[in-house]
């Protein structure tokens, strides 16, 4: 029998910040699935299997973009709106939006709520977190509105004004939140995603800018806004911006070189189209999941290169996923320091703390093992090629949303695996571990140091 003390403890259970995040995401996914499984969400007026509804809801909430049903052709306007609202909630974070309502009604934000906000935003401390949330909401609103105006005005050249406005708002939200959902498949003469606009400079540039701002993180956006006044960036922003720029440039050059003579991708395009096509795939592969070129038509070496970009991902505290560009920078810095025989990793004349180095290694190894395990399971449940399965697993865990053609043909066990990958990838494996571990204790002693041979 439970003692009174134990019972009282259970009745007064207060979830930790990681547990709040995990429970919140699960509740939002289930609510979204319930709405998407209703006949009003489907164009044919019939309900879809609940597993498919959970898949679509999880993909939207985790801002991934993988779909077992096409958003533009299979879902009604109601279903499309549910999906984009889930993407907005997932991209900004449900706690961010909850804080918005609290501020609107002038409610006080408790310290516990600030801890949850700190966890959800991957912010350094609780100090100034509410002020940061205000900035996040303002920046997101301004960027999405600007994107919506630009896209809507352009779409008005090819569709009715009301539809163009709807398309502009929808895709601006989707692109900024790196969600990867689009509505273009509802046109019979067009393929899904942005393949129709592969040589269109305006759509490419606007889309890449929205993806870029969504992928660098709100801390960096805040410093970009204040840079004209302060004339300085933090180490974090310097690393995110520099690594993002380097990866984008290297990615574009590599993709251009690998696909230049591919008759199914870049070869038929003009010189401008080749440049835009290669650059767009480099930008979108690390977070957004949109495509101006069908990923299934890329050469295998290019697909593998995109897997590497997806694994690296976007910036911390952003709407993107992956191990994060800062983690990648620390790993590269560690390799260079080791080769040079140095003890410290130095970035922009700042020494990186040992704890952060250990965290970078831990995040990378956890991501690597999860993707490997999921890929092995998917090779059992699915009939696709190994590379396409690895591509899909990496895209799901890193919440990218690019697909080599496997998602639409997943078996039920395969769908469950991908759902779990998206959920763990968006929440973060470490956050999930803290949420599930309710009995962590501080160690009272340390073991003696030992030495092993390495290399």
Query: Are residues 306 and 285 in contact, defined by beta-carbon separation less than 8 angstroms?
Result: yes
State percent of the chain over pLDDT 90.
48
DSSP 8-state class, residue 49: P
Residue 101 confidence (pLDDT): 53
Q: CA torsion sign, 410 to 378 to 396 to 299?
A: negative
pTM above 0.85, yes or no: yes
Residue 454 has pLDDT above 60, yes or no: yes
User: What's the half-sphere exposure (Cβ side, CA atoms, 13 Å) at 144?
Assistant: 23
Residue 398 confidence (pLDDT): 92
Residue 11 confidence (pLDDT): 46
What are the φ/ψ torsions at residue 41 (nearest 5 degrees)?
A: -85, -10
Residue 7 confidence (pLDDT): 41
Whole-number Å distance between alpha carbons of 382 and 390: 11
Mean pLDDT lowest among 97-106, 278-287, 290-299, 425-434: 97-106
- Residue 194 belongs to what H/E stretch? none
Q: Which residue has the higher pLDDT, 191 or 295?
A: 295
- What DSSP letter does each residue of 239-271 carry, written as one string? HHHHHHHHHHHHHHHHHHHHHTT-TTTTTTS-H
Query: Are residues 168 and 153 in contact, defined by beta-carbon separation less than 8 angstroms?
Result: yes
The predicted-structure confidence for 188-246, as pLDDT tens digits, reads as follows: 777 778 898 999 999 999 999 999 998 898 888 888 988 888 888 989 899 999 999 99
Residue 447 confidence (pLDDT): 74
Residue 2 confidence (pLDDT): 44
Quick count: other Cβ atoms within 10 Å of Cβ 6? 10
Residue 442 confidence (pLDDT): 60
Residue 45 has pLDDT above 90, yes or no: no
* Cross-strand bridge partners of residue 75: 42
Whole-number Å distance between alpha carbons of 164 and 155: 5
Q: Which residue has the higher pLDDT, 334 or 4?
A: 334
Binning pLDDT at 50, 70 and 90, where does residue 103 land? low
Residue 349 confidence (pLDDT): 87
The predicted-structure confidence for 111-162, as pLDDT tens digits, reads as follows: 555 555 555 555 555 556 667 777 878 888 999 999 999 999 999 998 899 9
Query: Are residues 251 and 280 in contact, defined by beta-carbon separation less than 8 angstroms?
Result: no
Distance of CA 404 to the CA centre of its chain: 18
Residue 298 confidence (pLDDT): 94
- What DSSP letter does each residue of 2-38 carry, written as one string? --HHHHHHHHT----HHHHHHHHHHHHHHHHHHHHTS
Residue 355 confidence (pLDDT): 87
The predicted-structure confidence for 310-331, as pLDDT tens digits, reads as follows: 999 988 878 788 899 999 999 9
Q: Which residues contact 46 (CB under 8 A, 6 or more apart)?
A: 39
Q: CA torsion sign, 214 to 217 to 235 to 278?
A: negative
Give CA separation, 139 vs 195, 205, 366, in Å: 29, 19, 32
Binning pLDDT at 50, 70 and 90, where does residue 1 land? very low
Query: Are residues 146 and 130 in contact, defined by beta-carbon separation less than 8 angstroms?
Result: no
Residues 11-28, mean pLDDT to the nearest whole number: 72
Give CA separation, 55 vs 6, 86, 404, 445, in Å: 38, 12, 17, 45
DSSP 8-state class, residue 405: S
Residues 28-40, mean pLDDT to the nearest whole number: 93
Query: Are residues 226 and 243 in contact, defined by beta-carbon separation less than 8 angstroms?
Result: no
Binning pLDDT at 50, 70 and 90, where does residue 59 land? very high
∠ CA 38-416-389, nearest 5°, is 125
Residue 54 has pLDDT above 90, yes or no: yes
Residues 258-263, mean pLDDT to the nearest whole number: 94
Whole-number Å distance between alpha carbons of 414 and 410: 5
The predicted-structure confidence for 336-345, as pLDDT tens digits, reads as follows: 988 888 888 8
Query: Are residues 174 and 164 in contact, defined by beta-carbon separation less than 8 angstroms?
Result: no
Residue 82 has pLDDT above 60, yes or no: yes
Tokens describing residue 40: 């009003």
Whole-number Å distance between alpha carbons of 430 and 419: 18
């Amino acid at each position: 029998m439970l003692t009174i003390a134990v019972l009282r403890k259970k009745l007064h259970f207060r979830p930790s910040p990681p547990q709040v995040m995990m429970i919140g995401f699960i509740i939002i996914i289930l609510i979204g699935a319930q709405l998407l499984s209703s006949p009003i969400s489907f164009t044919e007026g019939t309900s879809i299997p609940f597993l498919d509804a959970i898949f679509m809801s999880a993909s939207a909430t985790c801002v991934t973009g993988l779909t077992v049903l096409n958003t533009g052709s299979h879902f009604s306007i109601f279903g499309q709106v549910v999906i984009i609202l889930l993407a907005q909630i997932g991209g900004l974070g449900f706690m961010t939006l909850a804080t918005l309502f609290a501020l609107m009604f002038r409610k006080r934000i408790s310290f516990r709520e600030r801890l949850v906000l700190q966890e959800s935003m991957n912010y350094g401390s609780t100090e100034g977190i509410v002020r940061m949330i205000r900035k996040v909401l303002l920046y997101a609103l301004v960027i999405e509105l600007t994107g919506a105006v630009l896209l809507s005005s352009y779409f008005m050249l090819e569709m009715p004004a009301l539809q163009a406005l709807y398309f502009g708002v929808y895709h601006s939200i989707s692109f900024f939140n790196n969600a990867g959902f689009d509505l273009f498949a509802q046109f019979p003469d067009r393929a899904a995603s942005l393949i129709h606009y592969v040589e269109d400079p305006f759509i490419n540039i606007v889309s890449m800018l929205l993806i870029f701002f969504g992928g660098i993180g709100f801390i960096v956006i805040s410093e970009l806004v204040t840079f004209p006044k302060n004339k300085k960036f933090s180490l974090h922003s310097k690393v995110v911006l520099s690594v993002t720029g380097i990866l984008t440039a290297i990615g574009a050059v590599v993709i251009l070189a690998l696909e230049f003579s591919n008759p199914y991708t870049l070869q038929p395009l003009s010189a401008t189209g080749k440049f835009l096509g290669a650059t767009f795939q480099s930008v979108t592969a690390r977070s957004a999941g949109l495509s101006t070129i069908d990923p299934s038509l890329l050469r295998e070496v290019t697909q593998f290169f995109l897997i590497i970009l997806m694994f690296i991902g976007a910036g911390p505290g952003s709407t993107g996923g992956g191990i994060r560009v800062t983690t990648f920078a620390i790993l590269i810095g560690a390799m260079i320091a080791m080769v040079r025989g140095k003890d410290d990793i130095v970035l922009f004349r700042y020494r990186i703390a040992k704890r952060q180095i250990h965290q970078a290694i831990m995040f990378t190894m956890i991501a690597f093992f999860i993707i490997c395990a999921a890929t092995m399971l998917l090779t059992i449940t699915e009939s696709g090629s190994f590379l396409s399965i690895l591509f899909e697993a990496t895209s799901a865990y890193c919440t990218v949303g690019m697909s080599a053609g496997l998602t639409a043909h997943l078996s039920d066990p395969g769908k469950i695996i991908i759902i779990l990958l998206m959920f763990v990838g968006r929440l973060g494996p470490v956050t999930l571990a803290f949420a599930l571990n309710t009995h962590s204790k501080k160690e009272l002693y340390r073991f003696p140091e030992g030495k092993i041979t390495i290399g």
